[in-house]
Structure 1
Amino acid sequence: MRGQVLGVDRGSGEGQISGEDGERYVFAPHDWRSERGPAVGVNVDFTVEGRRALCIFRLPEPGAVTTAPQVPTSDRNKYVAALLAFFFGVLGIHRFYLGRNGSGVVMLVLTITVVGMLVTWLWSMIDMVRYLAMSDREFAHRYARL
């Protein structure tokens, strides 16, 4: 049967439900089966035994979305980022492409020296491998434009 919670005693957890048949039913905390506890006005589904409501479950609220979470999307491509890291990595171009302008500037400035160029080359190769090893979902989540 379906109904609506009329009231709940916060101390004991006991309460009343108004059934769709117009009758009132009492419940105890151990009768509640949903993760979220009872609240006044919540629509529920339950079984009846005499004047007791048993096996009480919350019904989805009207307008509640019950679909699976959306997969994040990005307008950036991890393969493009990996290619930019491979060919132009020492200049930090792949970092600019991904919106990481601060680290892109650091890489650009470091390429002025030979030692800095070796550091940025190694950095860009690590970035390239990371992009290729990262799942599409994680890449989209990490580099989505806000």
Structure 2
Amino acid sequence: MRGQILGVDTRTGDGLVTGDDGRRYIFSPADWAHRGEPTIGAYVDFETSENRALSICPMPVAAPLTTSAPVDAVPFNDRNKYVAAALAFLLGTLGIHRFYLGQTGSAIAMIVLSCTVIGLLVTGPLALIDTIRYLMMSDVEFANRYPRKNV
């Protein structure tokens, strides 16, 4: 059975292990079948006899996965969040920033809405919100939300 060591008495070496079955088992130093001492939280493999854990061996720890790129590396993107923010601020009511980001449908909707005064009252605040949102977004989030164009 497999489980995890919950505790070890440093004076006596007796300990407690929880099994995958949800039960707790006690063990003594003689039950530890490996060099070294048991450590709290270690994953182990053991045999059971009533409420005792016998022949306890530590489970091998898997090596951490390594990647060639750092976790927080910015993916390549052919778009710039500062250019998108400037376009949204200067020409946002026409939806030019959305064309730049590849959101053609919402860009066309903004152009059509901009033909009316009421539409300008809607697209103006939307463009301002987009400007602030692009500037507040991290580079990684921006690159993931607006991926590179397929050329």
What TM bracket, shorter-length normalisation? 0.5 to 0.7
Q: 1:134 aligns with which of 111, 118, 137?
A: 137
Q: Cα gap change, 1:114/1:83 in structure 2, threshold over 3 Å: closer, same or farther?
A: same
Q: Secondary structure at the match of 1:29?
A: strand
With normalisation by structure 2, the TM-score equals: 0.57
Residue 29 in structure 1 maps to residue 3 in structure 2? yes
How many residues are matched?
Answer: 103
Match of 2:73 among 71, 74, 78: 71
What is the CA-CA distance between 1:53 and the residue it aligns to? 5.6
For 1:99 and 1:55, the matched residues in 2 are separated by: 53
Three-state SS of the structure 2 residue aligned to 1:54 is strand
Alignment RMSD: 2.7
Structure 1 unaligned blocks of 5 or more: 1-12, 14-27, 32-36, 38-46
Unpaired runs of 5+ in structure 2? Answer: 6-19, 21-32, 36-54
Task: Give the C-alpha shift of residue 81 in structure 1.
Answer: 0.2
When normalised by structure 1's length, the TM-score is: 0.59
Whole-Å separation in 2 of the counterparts to 1:102 and 1:95: 9
Letter in 2 for 1:65: T
Name the structure 2 match of 1:54: 57
| Structure 2 Cα separation of the partners of residues 57 and 29 of structure 1 | 13
CA change 1:70–1:135 in 2 (3 A) is closer
* Structure of larger gyration radius: 2
**Cα offset, 1:30, TM superposition:** 3.6
Identity %: 46
Task: Tell me by how many angstroms 1:115 deviates.
Answer: 1.1
Distance apart, 1:137 and its partner CA: 1.6
The yes-or-no answer on 1:121 pairing with 2:124 is yes
